[in-house]
Structure 1
Amino acid sequence: MEVQQVLHMNGGAGETSYANNSTLQEIVIFKVKTIVERSITDLYCTTFPKSLCIVDMGCSSGPNTLLAISNIMEAVDQIRRHLGRSSPEFRVFLNDLPGNDFNNIFKSLAGFYEKLKQNNGPDFGPCFIAGVPGSFYSRLFQTKSLDFVHSSYSLHWCSQVPPALENGLNKGNIYIANDSPPAVIKAYWEQYESDFSLFLKLRSEEVRSGGRMVLTIIGRKSPDPSKGECCHLWKLLAQALMSMVSQGIIKEAQVDSFNLPLYTPCIQELMTVIESEGSFHLDGHEVTEINWDPNDNDNNEGFVFDKFTSGRNAAKIIRAVAESMLANHFGEAIIEDLFKKYEENVAEHLAKEKTKYVNVTVSMTKK
């Protein structure tokens, strides 16, 4: 699988689009808003820049794309008003892989600029936004040109499927599972360790000394990768695929040769890589959680649990994220039936246990 060519969230604004199935990601952005605001406020009060260069890596498309950026700029605007200073210029870069629906983003910019002026007044900015297609596992920006790097729900993706898995080592699974051989876990960790270290090295060349970076990554609480909360999520999808094998719809070899290019780290693993790579100082970290069904949350007082509805909600999120890879490998013809079965699997699981996404956020300063 060529990740850069295949991986992208579902574009457009249809029923299965990422734009219409990213409530979970929106809630996560608000859950970690405080740590992001603290980091950008510290940066501003330390340097009082006349121009701020901000990057969102893995921006995707839809309403969340500009949400995090808006929060960052409004935090700066609030503190500069409090201090009686003029507004800095904001230079914003939105990065994702080339298959991302950048056109949808660009169409929304006129309305976004107008909203910024309405919310923050005519003395805000100016703000200039541009798209930067490309892998964040490569150099994307000029040396020492960035002030603040943000990423949410992107850095669990690896640059590639671990090469060791190409020989069918992870039989019957598509990610780490409780029955995966130790060699599978080792291959995934080594791939992620290498990728995350490379990400830090590349950004260290692009971020100014004293610049900040806040990353929110789907992770896990347990030090054992096979006990990660997302393992259950992908195991249920693997089971849906294997049910299609038993029906003769797809071949078992197709499942054995498909593995997801991702890894969900625990905070200890992230801290180890950050310390080992050495370019950034770790300012702080947070671990938050959210139910697989984002409608089933503490703020939704009128929510009544129904396993089928929650199964459908959780499955639609995964479809918006993973459909491009599944369709590329198995063909588009199976997608509808696959996710119908997946909904059922998730529903039965949630009826027994309300499993959560674990979100690991790290805040760093460039040394």
Structure 2
Amino acid sequence: MASTSPSNVLEAYYKQFQRDFSIFLNCRAEELVEGGRMVLTCLGRKSDDPSSKEGCYILELLAMVLNEMVLQGIIKDDKLNTFNIPWYTPSPSEVKLQVVTEGSFSIDRLEVFEVNWNTLNNEKTFDSEVEISDGYIVAQGMRVAQGIRAIFESLLVSHFGEAIIEEIFNRFGKILIDRMSKEINKFFFVTISLTRKHNQ
């Protein structure tokens, strides 16, 4: 899923999220006593637009790496064309709608919070030459790359093979370093506190 994805692709990912989240809530409802509470935090977005930068940007940067490696003959074109990442970042309204639709829980509280890709606050203005020479942005870019690697490495290995994984994430880290030296980017998280309803 990307900002350039056609509407039917975005819809397919959303429907899969609805199915998966509904099953998840149903299973948790079976485990909790009536009146029991649960707090969930998931990667999400503030915007209602699923193709917004809030939801897709980090994977679009990873896609740039894979496309570059196709152009250089490192990855076969057909391999890239058959690769999909099961990643959907729901909005608060989508999370709320699914909780209400599934019906096992009442919502106590729902919030969105943001975490910078870098660990300095939002007011910090980067002088890219100074920061990169000091190693700060380099370290931060590689930290984010390793976090994404922890999530997606097994998918990439199973599809492209293990031999090119280091190359993928070295290149990905360099793109992140470049972007983080020029702009402030954030991850968004949706947190929801739920109470198990009493059985009717």
Name 2:45's counterpart in structure 1. Answer: 220
Aligned: 1:296 with 2:120:
yes
Counterpart code for 2:194: M
Q: Verify: 1:274 aligned to 2:77, yes or no.
A: no
1:144 maps to what in 2?
none
Cα distance, 1:305 vs structure 2: 4.4
Residue equivalent to 1:284: 109
TM-score, length basis structure 2: 0.88
Q: Following the alignment from structure 2 to structure 1, what is the Cα–Cα distance between the partners of residues 50 and 180?
A: 21
Report the CA distance between 1:308 and its aligned residue.
2.7
**How far does the alpha carbon of each residue in 1:3-25 deviate from its partner, in whole angstroms, 9 at most, with x for none?**
xxxxxxxxxxxxxxxxxxxxxxx
Residue pair 1:228, 1:264 contacting (<8 A) in 2 also: no
Deviation (angstroms), 1:321: 1.8
**What is the Cα deviation at residue 310 of structure 1?**
2.3
CA distance in 2, matches of 1:255, 1:321: 19
Which of residues 246, 250, 260 in structure 1 aligns to 2:71? 246
Q: Distance in 1 between matches of 2:17 and 2:106?
A: 20
Q: Are the counterparts in 2 of residues 258 and 329 from structure 1 also a CA contact under 8 Å?
A: yes
Q: CA contact under 8 A between 1:296 and 1:305: conserved in structure 2?
A: no
**How far apart, in 2, do the equivalents of 1:273 and 1:228 lie?**
23
1:9-48, aligned counterparts within 5 Å? Answer: none
1:252-309 deviation digits (Å, cap 9, x = unpaired): 211121111121101000000111111100000121111123x3358xxxxx844333
- DSSP-derived class of the 1:286 partner: strand
Letter in 1 for 2:188: V
Given the alignment, which residue of 8, 24, 27 partners 1:202? 27
User: 1:102-141 maps to which residues of 2 (within 5 A)?
Assistant: none
Aligned residues: 187
Question: Could you report, residue by residue, the CA deviation over 1:110-151 in whole angstroms, capped at 9, with x for unpaired residues?
Answer: xxxxxxxxxxxxxxxxxxxxxxxxxxxxxxxxxxxxxxxxxx
- Between Structure 1 and Structure 2, which shows a larger proportion of helix residues? 2
Pairing 1:313–2:143 present: yes
Is 1:352 the counterpart of 2:176? The answer is no
Give 3-state SS (helix, strand or coil) of 1:249's partner. coil
8 Å CA contact 2:131–2:181 kept in 1: the answer is: no
Measured after TM superposition, the shift of residue 327 of structure 1 is 0.9
Q: Give the counterpart of 2:84 among 259, 263, 277.
A: 259
Question: Rg bigger for which structure?
Answer: 1
RMSD (CA atoms): 1.7
Report the 3-state secondary structure (helix = DSSP H, G, I; strand = E; otherwise coil) of the residue aligned with 2:36.
Answer: strand
Q: Which secondary structure state, in structure 1, belongs to the residue aligned with residue 114 of structure 2?
A: strand
1:352 CA drift (Å): 2.4
Residue among 327, 335, 340 paired with 2:170: 340
d(CA) in 1 for partners of 2:76 and 2:140?
30
Whole-Å separation in 1 of the counterparts to 2:173 and 2:25: 37
Please give the alpha-carbon distance, in whole angstroms, between the structure 2 residues aligned to 1:242 and 1:352: 22
Measure, in 1, the Cα distance between the counterparts of 2:15 and 2:131: 39
Distance 1:332 1:221 in 2: 35
TM-score by length of 1: 0.49
